Amino acid sequence: MAITLLGHPVAHDIQEKIRHRIEFLRKNTQRVPGLAVILVGENPASQAYVGMKKKACAAVGITSFEHLLPSTATEIELESLIHSLNQDPSVNGILLQLPLPKGLNEASLLQRISPDKDVDGFHPLHIGNLLLGLPSLKPCTPYGVCELLKYYNIPTQGKHVVVLGRSNIVGKPLAAMLIQREFNATVTICHSHTENLAEITQQGDILISAIGKPHFVTEDMVKDRAIVIDVGINRVPATPGPGFILVGDVDYDSVEPKVSAITPVPKGVGPMTIAMLMKNTLTAFEETL
């Protein structure tokens, strides 16, 4: 039977350390970190994530500022909001929740966030530093995956890590992290145009899926005794209904018996993303002291 790599106890440990550090800093500086979250439109998954981020802020002692804008918000309005948050000394972190409604230029808006406050680590400056192995704020989901691997003592040195998905949020930064000397992994990134996909994924000592397709990774795609990390959080209609359930990219029931360890969905990578957001916000705050 595979080991279940639960994320929530790890995230809880990390958040406890952050809470203590913030309490210490509050006593010594009379200041606490602040995180501004911008949500445009009414995407239910994004609304749920923003709710979880707000709850985590309250648990660790970060002040959260919510900016909820209608889907009709213009790029100029968003630019002006980001500009004012960049100037606001009570805001140490700014998070623009993705995806944005159609018509808004994600890349250009993300670049408006001051790198000092870019707790998502999406700014080209951070991505560049990450690739160069220099200090940077790291994108929260891949950072969380790396911390999860470390916590469970999963060896990465010389191992073949196959990453499914090449997004700017997960796949690309994750590959950039795992090839650094800290991890020394050999990384292959696969995507929607990869030929002979199963042949490649079967070679992964560690297979990490971040493609957002429910039950995509099946038993025939994984190596015997592999470590499987499921980054997917897909909302699918519950059967029987009503409502939705969350499922990963991995067809858990068929894959679990074949592998040595696997993350569940939910309670796997998801809580780690939020813990790393708290960590980045604390880091950005400490830089201002």
What residues make contact with ligand GUN under the rule CB under 6 A?
95-98, 120, 140-141, 169, 273
Least distance (Å) between residue 237 CB and ligand GUN: 21
Least distance (Å) between residue 227 CB and ligand GUN: 22
CB neighbour burial string for 135-160, b if at least 16 within 10 angstroms, e if fewer? ebbbbbbbbbbbbbbebeebebeebb
Least distance (Å) between residue 115 CB and ligand GUN: 15
| CB-closest chain residue to ligand GUN | 98
Q: Which is nearer to ligand GUN, 167 or 201 (CB)?
A: 167
Among 15, 117, 118, 120, which one carries the catalytic annotation?
120
Q: Which is nearer to ligand GUN, 200 or 248 (CB)?
A: 248
- Residue 120 designated active-site: yes
Q: Which is nearer to ligand GUN, 25 or 276 (CB)?
A: 276
Least distance (Å) between residue 120 CB and ligand GUN: 5
Among 53, 117, 138, 223, which one carries the catalytic annotation?
53
- Residue 249 designated active-site: no
Neighbours of 202 (CB within 10 A): 16
Amino acid, single-letter form, for residue 140: C
- Residue 97 designated active-site: yes
Q: Which is nearer to ligand GUN, 96 or 226 (CB)?
A: 96
Q: List the catalytic residues.
A: 53, 97, 120
